[in-house]
Chain A
């Protein structure tokens, strides 16, 4: 069995936070929408603080022009070789730029967000504190749509 399947089977049975309802935001037409990337890959610039080893609930804001970001999520259970070759496989910022240039999306957000992938099981801080704070920063930038990428 592949390592990925082992991980999927392991995660399938872990308890997850319960959400009884499904919130729903209605975006503008895609061609008018400002789009951001939100990733749990723990990306950060070299001049930003690293994410802690365990259960880090903080986030980093990434500027639209940032490249050569460090993949800060520390888990040993995912492939890193692809990201080293092409950041777009985790953080498709160049693809968004192409879609904006083509008029498919309205705009690329001026800032994007990275969290760490290893969160405390309750994810209570992300739900109540740092998550809403990051969302407010994106809203202040006029973001309508977010693409969420885990590793």
Chain B
């Protein structure tokens, strides 16, 4: 983002970066930076809050009045992430013949479909679509149980994208089930990793992949840092 500000500015476009990493912006001689200490993924601070978003934009536009730079201003309001899990109850076991994560993924399908129909878009689809989520979990169960990843996936390991799709499927379904205003940042993440069978399976598969010395660039991004 900060590099792009340089490029745009050279081309004659005045820029304001709504920076989320102050220490990075400080070091890059960026023309105009509004440092916003908001949860990552929310550069305007709060969803469904036009007033707050307008406040951020107004502060950003104010920086255009400066006659020279670099200019770095801290937005006065801080928004903290909420790390308590989303209150989304999970279904009881339905099909005892499949792994708990696979059963759970099947159970969330109707809610996921409603979410996609309402929004008209989905983040699922980097590596698999919704039809492939249960099977992808079954594969991860195999890895978690000790099978070597090359036996399960062949030569190319794409579990970052698979993990992304599974998590997106779960989060979109959960937001639909819970309804109401959007949760605090990290609540959906906490729910997925701490409370769902899929999250536990993903963690176990990542541990197994690490033990098998799978490429660390893949395993590192299967979960957020700090988990």
* Cβ-based interface call for A103 (8 A): no
Residues of B within 8 A of A96 (CB): 57
A33 to chain B, nearest CB (A): 8
* Cβ-based interface call for B222 (8 A): yes
Distance A125 CA – B12 CA, assembled complex (angstroms): 19
Query: Which of A84, A95, A143 is B172 in contact with, Cβ under 8 Å?
Result: A84
A101 to chain B, nearest CB (A): 13
* Cβ-based interface call for B83 (8 A): yes
Bin the interface of chain A by size: 35 or more
Residues of A within 8 A of B11 (CB): 25, 132, 135-136, 138-139
B77 to chain A, nearest CB (A): 14
When the two chains form their complex, are residues B40 and A74 in contact, meaning their CB atoms are under 8 A apart? no
A100 to chain B, nearest CB (A): 12
Residues of A within 8 A of B54 (CB): 95, 98-99
When the two chains form their complex, are residues A143 and B3 in contact, meaning their CB atoms are under 8 A apart? no
When the two chains form their complex, are residues A84 and B123 in contact, meaning their CB atoms are under 8 A apart? yes
When the two chains form their complex, are residues A50 and B126 in contact, meaning their CB atoms are under 8 A apart? yes
Number of residues on chain B facing chain A (CB within 8 A) = 86
A126 to chain B, nearest CB (A): 6
When the two chains form their complex, are residues A82 and B182 in contact, meaning their CB atoms are under 8 A apart? yes
Query: Which of B19, B57, B175 is A95 in contact with, Cβ under 8 Å?
Result: B57
A1-43 to B contact mask, C-beta < 8 Å, 1/0: 1111011101111101111111111110010010010101000
B87-124 to A contact mask, C-beta < 8 Å, 1/0: 00000000000000000000000000001000111110
List 6 A-B pairs, minimum CB-CB distance, nearest first. A78-B41, A12-B23, A135-B11, A79-B41, A131-B7, A85-B182
B residues adjacent to A (C-beta < 8 A): 1-24, 27-31, 39-48, 50, 53-54, 57, 60-61, 64, 68-70, 80-81, 83, 115, 119-123, 125-126, 158, 160-161, 163-164, 167-168, 171-172, 175, 181-183, 185-189, 217, 221-227
23 of the cross-chain contacts (CB-CB < 8 Å) are A2-B81, A3-B81, A4-B39, A22-B6, A23-B31, A40-B1, A50-B126, A70-B122, A74-B160, A76-B164, A79-B41, A80-B41, A80-B188, A86-B47, A88-B44, A88-B47, A89-B43, A132-B11, A148-B8, A148-B18, A149-B43, A150-B1, A151-B20
A residues adjacent to B (C-beta < 8 A): 1-4, 6-8, 10-14, 16-27, 30, 33, 36, 38, 40, 46, 50, 53-54, 68-71, 74-86, 88-90, 92, 94-96, 98-99, 104-105, 115, 117, 119, 123, 126-127, 131-132, 135-136, 138-139, 143-151
